[in-house]
Amino acid sequence: MRLFHDLVDDAGLFPPTALPMDEALARHRADLEQGGPVLTHRFLCPSSRLPVLRVHLADEGFPLRLGLILDTEELPPLDGLDVELVEMPGAPFETASGRLELPDGPPLEVKARQFVEVTAAQLPVHLPEGVGLKIRCGGSEPESFPSAHDLGAFVSFCVRQGVPFKATAGLHHAVRHFDPALGVDRHGFVNLVLAVCAAVEGRDPVPVLKLTDVGELVRRARAVPEETARRARELLVSYGSCNTATPVEDLRALGLIDEEDA
């Protein structure tokens, strides 16, 4: 199902998996060779770890499509690297009131697509043309998980304004579920995709984000019109997952991708 094609960026370097660079690249190479369409086959790397990545790429010798997570004060040299997108924190643009104010032009002088991380509370934000947003859907603490209402407000804003966005953290499984270790409900990535579809069709995304009925989610996914799916995925660019196998396994178990898509 194309609704879920090119959905998952490889965030193997990041917690909770936090693979060493050599293991993360080995897994990424294996995913590339398998070629499953659910994965974007884009490798996410912190800017602080680019020197280490360059050393490994010199030894490995295979092309790598990169998503750069900016965790340094300045953008490092990107020569020789195929950087498709740069994700940056919103902190440099934060005002005393906690809102974001971005300059009129793109924040960085790069050709890659740029995404600025925000919370729902920081919306609305004026964005330069071509710049998108990034939302954090979880983390290591309960406070890191936005409520369904906050995440829904973010989705609605992006759809209304036509702002492309990325998601990160917390989307470990397809369907919303309770995490007893943290005492929170974890958002499901299928819920998120269908919430964007709902907003595209002018409906409230919050009820979809709250759905835990697996059968109902599958029914809705199969009923998404082609034009809705196309527009939803223009807006939801991808999400980063530290595990690249589980999203595929979940979609296969739900019957939402064919065996050859896995």
More confident residue, 182 or 205: 205
Neighbours of 17 (CB within 10 A): 15
Give the pLDDT mean for 213-234. 97
Q: Where are the strands (E) in the chain, listed by range?
A: 8-10, 39-46, 65-69, 82-88, 113-118, 131-136, 165-168, 177-179, 184-186, 236-241
Q: How confident is residue 259, by pLDDT bands cut at 50, 70 and 90?
A: low
Nearest to 10 by CA among 77, 26, 233, 2: 26
Residue 120 pLDDT > 60:
yes
Residue 262 pLDDT > 60:
no
CA gap 227, 137 in Å, rounded: 26
Q: How confident is residue 1, by pLDDT bands cut at 50, 70 and 90?
A: low
Tell me, what DSSP letter sits at residue 133?
E
Q: How confident is residue 106, by pLDDT bands cut at 50, 70 and 90?
A: confident
Residue 260 pLDDT > 90:
no
Going by C-beta distance under 8 Å and a sequence separation of 6 or more, which residues neighbour residue 61? Answer: none
Least confident of 48-62, 123-137, 165-179: 48-62
Q: How confident is residue 261, by pLDDT bands cut at 50, 70 and 90?
A: low
Neighbours of 197 (CB within 10 A): 27
pTM passes above 0.85 = yes
CA gap 14, 68 in Å, rounded: 12
Residue 139 pLDDT > 90:
no
